[in-house]
Each structure stands twice: as C-alpha cells, then as structure tokens.
Amino acid sequence: MHNIYSLLFVLFFLFLTGCEDKKTDSTPIAMENTTEIFTPKDKKMQQEKRKRFQEQNKVPANVSKDNTFTLIDTQEITHTLTVVDKYISFHTINEPVIVLNFFSLNCSVCLDQMTSLSTLQKKYQNKIFVISVLRGDSKGNAQFLKLIQEHHITHFISNSKDDEEFSEKLYTALQISTSSKLPLTVIYKEGKYYNHFEGPIPIEMIHHDIQQSIKK
C-alpha cells in the first residue's frame, strides 16, 4: 500500500511539473510578438523618412518672396508655404501627406466635407495634415469659431490676409479655373502634387487617394 501511495505522489508531481512547463513555454511568445511590433528599427526608419522629407522641402534660393504665404488660424497658429509651380514647400509641417481644402462659408457641401476631413486627420494622425483655406473675403474669428463648433472641425482653418493670394497662385499653378465649383481638395505627398478633386464628390474618393498617397 505504501508503494502505491508513493507511485501516486510521483505521478502527481510529474503532472504538476508538466503544467508549469507549458505555462512557462507560452509566456515568451507573447513578449516576442510585442517586441516585433515596437522596434527601434521602426523609429529609425521614421526619422530617416522625416529627414528625407525635410531635404526635399528645401526651397531654391532664387524663388521670389511673392511665392511664400503665411496662413493663420483663429488660435494665431501659423504655417508658411512656398509655391513653386506644382510643388509646395510646407516649412512648418512634418506630416508627409498634406490635404489642402478650399471652401466657402455659404457652401454647405464644403462644410460637410471639412467635418469628414477632420475625422480622416484624426484617423491618420501623424501621417496627414489638413489645411482648409477660405475662398473670398476673410471673415472675423467669431464666425470661424462658430463654424468650428457647429461642424466639429478640428483641423487647421486659415483666416489670413494671404488666403486669397495663395488660392489664386495655386489655382494658376494647377491650371484650375477660379470659377470652378467648391470645395476644391488638393493632395500633396512630400511637397509634390498628387491629385485634386473639384466640386462636391463622395468623401470615399478622397479617402481612397489619401490611403494610396500614404502607401506610396
């Protein structure tokens, strides 16, 4: 009888040891997967990409100052842009994809599109930067603040004296008629023209091109 108890004890001990081994074996796998997702290599690649972007954004010394514009929002945040034909240097923006959106306050489709663009900027944080520019006469900040609150707009909206001149310069560079329907949405990748959309179109089309420009 004593031998039977001893045998049962040994079997029970081996069973517990086997369970512990299984638990121990499963732990490193989860840790390895986590390490693979967040690696120093990813950070280095991002830094190199940003450095390359900054190099590409250097403006030639012979470019006229008339090609440089300062956009200002209701919080007095500024962004400086230089237009060289179809190329734009975004001096103070690090995101690789820039979405320029031209709108009018009396254009309901424009305002709806701006709400959607704010959502896309949040979705692709650190990958895209949206700038909305008013076409026509500039308005007081009070109207802009009301606009932002009513339509839940969180991206940059310019209310600057340079807005109209910048719009005309860009329209000319892209050979777009100033009488074309709003909104006008233009996508740039690392300063280079990618594509544009004139008039009311499904936001899904813009979303698709933003996705493609990020991957490119």
Tokens of 184: 């006008």
Positive or negative torsion for Cα 165, 166, 168, 172: positive
For residue range 57-113, list pLDDT tens digits in order.
554 544 556 899 999 998 899 999 999 999 999 999 999 999 999 999 889 999 999
Is 9 inside a domain boundary? no
Count: domains in the chain: 1
How many whole angstroms separate alpha carbon 101 and alpha carbon 114? 8
One-letter amino acid of 89: S
Question: Can you give the CATH number for the domain in which 69 is found?
Answer: 3.40.30.10
Is 47 inside a domain boundary? no
Q: Are 86 and 78 in contact (CB under 8 A)?
A: no
Mean pLDDT of the chain: 81
Q: Are 96 and 191 in contact (CB under 8 A)?
A: no
**Beta strands at 97-103 and 184-189: parallel, antiparallel or unpaired:** antiparallel
At 191, is the pLDDT very low, low, confident or very high (cuts 50, 70, 90)? very high
Indicate the pTM of the whole model.
Answer: 0.72
Is 197 inside a domain boundary? yes
Residue 51's pLDDT is what? Answer: 58
Q: Is 151 exposed, middle or buried (0-12, 13-18, 19+ CB in 10 A)?
A: middle
Is 31 inside a domain boundary? no
Residue 118's pLDDT is what? Answer: 98
Show the domain range for 86. 65-215
How many whole angstroms separate alpha carbon 171 and alpha carbon 180? 10
Is 19 inside a domain boundary? no
What are the backbone angles phi and psi of residue 85, rounded to the nearest 5°?
55, -125
